[in-house]
Amino acid sequence: MPERRTVALVTLGCARNEVDSEELAGRLEADGWDLVEDAAEADVAVVNTCGFVEAAKKDSVDALLEANDLKGHGRTQAVVAVGCMAERYGKDLAEALPEADGVLGFDDYADISDRLQTILSGGIHAAHTPRDRRKLLPISPAQRQESAASVALPGHGPAAETPEAAPADLPEGLAPASGPRAPLRRRLDGSPVASVKLASGCDRRCSFCAIPSFRGSFISRRPSDVLNETRWLAEQGVKEIMLVSENNTSYGKDLGDIRLLESLLPELAEVDGLERVRVSYLQPAEMRPGLIDVLTSTPKVVPYFDLSFQHSAPGVLRAMRRFGDTDRFLELLDTIRGKAPEAGVRSNFIVGFPGETEADLAELERFLNGARLDAIGVFGYSDEEGTEAATYENKLDEDVVAERLAHVSRLAEELVSQRAEERVGETVQVLVESVDEEGVYGRGAHQAPETDGQVLLTSGEGLSVGRMVEAKVVGTEGVDLVAEPLDGSLACSEEAGR
């Protein structure tokens, strides 16, 4: 019997990429590949790249080169690039990085096993020529669902006019493709948290962002597929799901119901075994009163608002092709906290945008000082090829951008630490995510995975990963919280584990 082929998936970038990697893992395992964690133990190392900003691109290239260094020193025979950077640059990336034995775009995902086997056998699969993926679907959202069957949409399942049936003898732990576009999926870790894709692509035209050009137009997954995947994840031991896409507030607009998220969330919250539902990637300009109500009042749906503000000075926002201003944003936050005072809010901001004045920077600082955000990401502006902003005049000197980035980053660090201190005395529900010699760590409802800090529990006897613990915040360490489990909480956890 021939030795089974082995593959390792190395994932960079956002939670959406993590979902894509698990779809690729599902496809490969269903086709007979063995998945391994260590690239040195794999015949093929598949690097799922990020192509969003320069730092992410550098990380992707470094990961490809690191995997390439394994060749000739162990089992690894080939290194293949997939993901956003591979899709965005295609043959240009292949020419610039000959260390990669293959550069595969989204259209290759449905045939990933054959592609890897060709490369492993010494064959060549030509890297694709990049194209604007927004042109693959109709302009009108209402006409997209029928056309989507023939377009590769990572995280949505097969791209074929006649969807492929899942193999009858799927390996244990592999999610079946239960709908017309539901993906095979294999979990790549044992975390009690998993992301679920609501949609792909984006119809917004922010002047600084290239994502729509290589991710395509906005297309929603059907609620039944989202529900079935969530049920499967809960069966695998997942306690919290995080709904991801480029813009969750647009969910359902191509299915004829822009308020579809409001009806889907309560259904997801009722899935057996699930403790939390979290929604990420919300657009402030698209926030609806009904959506705020559902996010702040539905049991198990956490009052968490990942709002993409980007700036608050009106002139800068208009140049970004975005909407709003400081006072409108503060009003939105007041509305949210009026319904859920302990709601978690995070956002990202760009400083040094072309034409940004000192007055604009001061306006952003006014917003940050009044917003009481739990987590803040700050980025210095840099040109992204193919974007409108790259053609703008009035670019700021790199030194000025760096100075503003450092200044606002320091302010942000101070403010999120202050916000954490405001939570001392609060009672938080902590989902335990790690238990080791360093302590017991988890996250409260206001903290998303990896981005928003964590909670250190002062006592963790009898606790295990995946437990939900009620605790009182007694201290802080920067953005992180220190919390003491309440009487009875540990006993309840021990009882639940028997």
Token code pair at residue 151: 């377009």
The response to whether 209 counts as a known ligand-binding position is: yes
Token code pair at residue 452: 């928003």
- For residue 347, which of 402, 416, 400 has the smallest C-alpha distance? 416
Q: What is the residue-wise DSSP string for 118-151?
A: HHHTT---PPPPP--GGGGS-SSGGGHHHHGGGS
C-alpha 276/C-alpha 283 separation (Å) is 21
What is the four-CA torsion angle of 128, 129, 134, 138, rounded to 10 degrees? -80
- DSSP β-ladder status, 193-197 and 185-186: unpaired
Say how far apart CA 463 and CA 472 lie, in whole Å: 16
Residue type, 47: V
Q: ∠157-158-160 over CA atoms, to 5°? A: 150
* Paired tokens of 312: 């608050």
- Provide DSSP, 397-461: PHHHHHHHHHHHHHHHHHHHHHHHHHTTT-EEEEEEEEEETTEEEEE-TT--TTTS--EEES--T
- Residues 147, 104: Cα–Cα separation, whole Å: 23
Sign of the CA dihedral with 435 first, then 436, 439, and 441 last? negative
Residue 463 phi, psi dihedral angles, 5° rounding? -85, 150
Residue 50 annotated as binding site:
yes
Distance separating the N- and C-terminal Cα atoms of the chain: 43
Secondary structure tally for the chain: helices H, strands E:
15, 20
CB 248 within 8 A of CB 279: yes
492 carries a ligand binding annotation: no
The span from the CA of 321 to the CA of 316, in Å, is 9
Residues of the binding site: 14, 50, 84, 202, 206, 209
Residues of the binding site for [4Fe-4S] cluster: 14, 50, 84, 202, 206, 209
